[in-house]
A and B are shown apart, each in its own frame.
Chain A
Amino acid sequence: MESYQIYDYDVLVVGAGGSGLRAAIAAMEKGAKVGVVSKSLLGKAHTVMAEGGVAAALRNVRSEDSWQVHFRDTLKGGGMLNNWKMVQNYTQEAPDRVLELEQWGAVFDRTPDGRINQRNFGGHTYPRLAHVGDRTGLEMIRTLQDHAVKLGLNVHMETTLYRLLTDGDKVAGAVGFHRNTGQFLVFRAKAVILATGGLGKLYQITSNSWECTGDGFALASMVGADLIDMEFIQFHPTGMIWPTGVMGLLVTEGVRGEGGVLKNSEGKRFMFDNVPDRYKGEFAETEEEADRWLNGDRSARRPPELLTRDVVARAIRKEVNEGRGSPHGGAFLDIASRRSPDYIKKKLPSMYHQFMKLANLDITKESMEVGPTCHYMMGGIRVDPDTQRTNVSGLYAAGEVAAGLHGANRLGGNSLSDLLVFGRRAGLSAAEYAGSQPEAAKTDESQVNALIAEALEPFKSGGENPFALMQELRTGMQKNAGIMRVEEELKAELEILAALKPRIWKAGATGGREYNPGWHTALDLRLMVEVAEAVVLAAQARKESRGGHARLDFPDPDPTFAKLNHIVRRTSQGLTVVTEPLPEMPAELRTIAEAKLVTAQGGS
């Protein structure tokens, strides 16, 4: 029998990115005994890669901004499929959460009068993103990390959770292993918060780091938690497409926020021809007007390059498909002709560095080549909009792994403040729940032993190379369930996944248990194949195009689907899709959400 080490916590937080750390801080402040598990070293989570900024209606640059306008922008960007209560909580609390970071030591860029500066971003009516150049995520994670350490953070670094443990119908902890040693660990916890981030690694071309294998979606689903909106995956319009090795690497929307424009091979700014009906009248109609906006003329409307990500990504794809793409199959993103070299280096230092270093390209002189890259999961674990509680007792979720806030498409900058607002809410409610549980969490030894044996199977199986299987999984998802979807391909993908699953479960590992990436990958795959199936099933169910979900066979939004969410639920027969009506928005909020922008442009 394998030995394992036991840790007891009130609240176990899974993930040490923005939402996990914010949750841990909130739970510690409530007096809970908190443990954080992180697959990487502290401070390396994917949050670190966030670039452009954190959205909150601070009103530092434009006093006309308010939570109401942010509320409207978020719902409009999300195809009105968002959970209205989450959007309300979020837009109302985001400013406080950002200011709190400053009080914990974050140093944001400043306005001339010494307050936190805010920049423009796609889908946001006003400059709303607090930022630090183009490394806002690093600033945020370091601030949260420092503050959590100050509070006495207890972190298990480089630790992977294999499965959640249950006691009857409630969560009782988790079993995992320390990656460096291969030693198994059992965490007994009254409450567990999943803050595991996204699933970009399901796709071949992604901006996500290796960690984003979608663990949390699968871990939750395996103990009976509902997943919602799994069809909505955001393909960020501007990823690097050359050289091949860095394909997918993010090029911040901040480039467009700072004035960058998209052009096709004919030198045409094609976004002017791609303004969807719902945004008609809100964007500049000529280059001349867009230029006036860039120069600070408040009577001019915003350039169409600042449309939402779903719209821009599909427009780029259309240019490429119609033969007007860049040499490596994307579009040109030009900031060089719009801003001075000094300005670019000051405002977009890591973009400058990234292109200089990886592509031998000086963005202050030349255009970048960009194309869509899998970036963000709008869907995920279904949670209560106030407490982040899932439908499984003791299980909470926050950040990218949780769903509801972003609906069908997320606005840039809304993720970082999502992490803060709902990380905190999850931490508070999990700590409160744990405090109300009279008895210590109990785990079942036979359950633990069975899971450990299962996790060690790859060493015995002599099965296929896990890296090759990973490649196969990602290629299939990219081809059949990517940015544009169609019934036959989705159906084919389900068959591919069904055939892959038994092979994945037999994947082999060579070598020992200490820091063995082959073994880790073999285990990651078991979760990834479940998540992939949930995505494909939901994509198949939604026979319309909306936000991040685009169907070639159903190219338009459909009013029937506008009123429902898809829930992916595990039954004894496997994963099934159930439809449910959207929660009804109160009339006064609906008025805000559907408001036409009269004051938004130029204060007229």
Chain B
Amino acid sequence: MSTVQFKVFRGDKSGGALQEYPVEAQEGMVVLDAIHQIQAKHAPDLACRWNCKAGKCGSCGAEVNGKPKLMCMTRLDELDISQPVTVRPMRTFPVIRDLATDVSWNYEVNKRITPFSPPPNTDWRMQQEDVDRVQEFRKCIECFLCQNVCHVLREHDEKTGFIGPRFLVRVASLEMHPLDTANRLPMLKDAGGIGYCNITKCCTEVCPEEIHITDNAIIPLKERVVDEYYDPILAFFRRLFGTKKRPVSGAGGQAADD
């Protein structure tokens, strides 16, 4: 058993500093184990959010040696433990205390998305190949690491005109659902701010669920927005034949539930 030095951010919204703690390493140990050991032995009031410790709930996101990670899925043996391991809270969200950040903004954004809107009469038959893509998006565990690294949110703090990769993924999961009838393109273009994304793929890189956020969610949504609002040829035909938005399956159109 060897001792590994940890430098953990201690502080709150008014500021703080890294504090050093020794951790007795064990085979197969993950960063969250180390944080728990520090809690139990040295700092019972060390704040850290976690639930499942199995990479399924997305609660324990933090920046380990500067990299956004789920602490429960980051093994010490994948880090350079000859140097102290630093653990800081996600930078994009305000610190509550220590490693716990205030992610409530995400829950507010989520409320603005038109929910699933099935047509009134359907037999609920869907083929597996038609739902594969949606299932990929629904793997999201809402760890908000993608929000944390997105430069629009992280560097520019654009939290009013942009919903961030997590919620673009959610919109994609609804828009690509074979039985959904709502039209979220106006929201994506305006309040959703999809134009802010310039496809740097930082979100995709940090996704612990390995969702192809940029390629499979954001780019297809961008294409739909472009087709809808900026395609000169389509615009010409629309002027010629009237302004039907986009084909909606089922006669109900936008369901009465937003």
A interface list, Cβ under 8 A from B: 40-46, 48-49, 99, 102-105, 107, 109-110, 113-115, 132-133, 135, 137-139, 142, 146-147, 149-150, 157, 180, 209-211, 242-246, 249-250, 350, 353-354, 357-359, 465-468, 471, 509-512, 514-519, 521
Q: Please state if A49 and B125 are interface contacts (CB–CB under 8 Å).
A: no
Q: Find chain A residues with CB under 8 A from B54 CB.
A: 49, 246, 249-250, 354
Contact B55 A354 (CB under 8 A): yes
| CB nearest to B99 among chain A residues | A515
Known: A115-B125, A511-B45, A518-B45. A358 touches B28 (CB 8 A): yes
In chain B, positions 2-37 with a C-beta closer than 8 Å to chain A are 12, 26-30, 33
Check B139 against A149 for contact (C-beta < 8 Å): no
A146-B116 contact, Cβ under 8 Å, with A40-B51, A180-B100: yes
Decide if B107 is an interface residue (CB 8 Å cutoff): yes
B135 A514 Cβ-Cβ under 8 A:
no
- Interface pairs A-B: 3 shortest CB-CB: A243-B28, A518-B44, A511-B45
- With CB as the reference atom, state the residue of chain A lying closest to B142: A43
Judge whether B27 and A114 touch: CB under 8 Å.
no
Stretch at the interface among B56-64, B214-222, B230-238: B56-64
Please determine whether B103 and A245 come into contact, CB atoms closer than 8 angstroms. no
Quote the shortest CB–CB distance from B6 to chain A (angstroms): 15
Apart from A49-B57, A465-B40, 7 more pairs, CB < 8 Å: A41-B107, A48-B56, A115-B124, A149-B111, A149-B115, A180-B102, A209-B52
Give Cα A40 to B52, complex, Å. Answer: 11
A210 cross-chain contacts in B, Cβ below 8 A: 50-51
Shortest Cβ distance from A98 into chain B, in angstroms? 11
Partner of A510, one of B33, B44, B116, B142: B44
Given A149-B111, A517-B47, the answer on whether A180 and B125 have CB atoms closer than 8 Å is no
Q: How far is the CB of B85 from chain A (nearest CB, A)?
A: 15
Closest to B107 in A: A42
With A105-B116, A149-B111 in contact, do A516 and B56 touch (Cβ < 8 Å)? Answer: no
Assess whether B168 is interfacial by the CB under 8 Å rule. no
Q: Chain B CB within 10 Å — which of A142, A146, A465, A515 has the most?
A: A515
Given A42-B107, A210-B51, A139 and B138 contact (CB-CB distance below 8 Å): yes
Given contacts A44-B59, A49-B54, contact A114 B97 (CB under 8 A): no
* Pairwise interchain contact B56-A49, C-beta atoms closer than 8 A: yes
**A107 near B138: Cβ-Cβ < 8 Å:** yes
Question: Does B126 interact with chain A (Cβ within 8 Å)?
Answer: yes
Q: Are B28 and A41 in contact (CB under 8 A)?
A: no
Interchain CB contact (< 8 A) of B115 among A43, A146, A249, A512: A146
| A512→B111 CA distance, assembly (Å) | 33
Cβ A138 vs Cβ B45 within 8 A: no
Question: Are the C-beta atoms of B47 and A515 separated by less than 8 Å?
Answer: yes
The chain A residue sitting closest to B103, CB to CB, is: A41
> Judging by beta carbons under 8 Å apart, are B44 and A517 in contact?
yes
| Distance of B108 from chain A, by nearest CB (Å) | 11
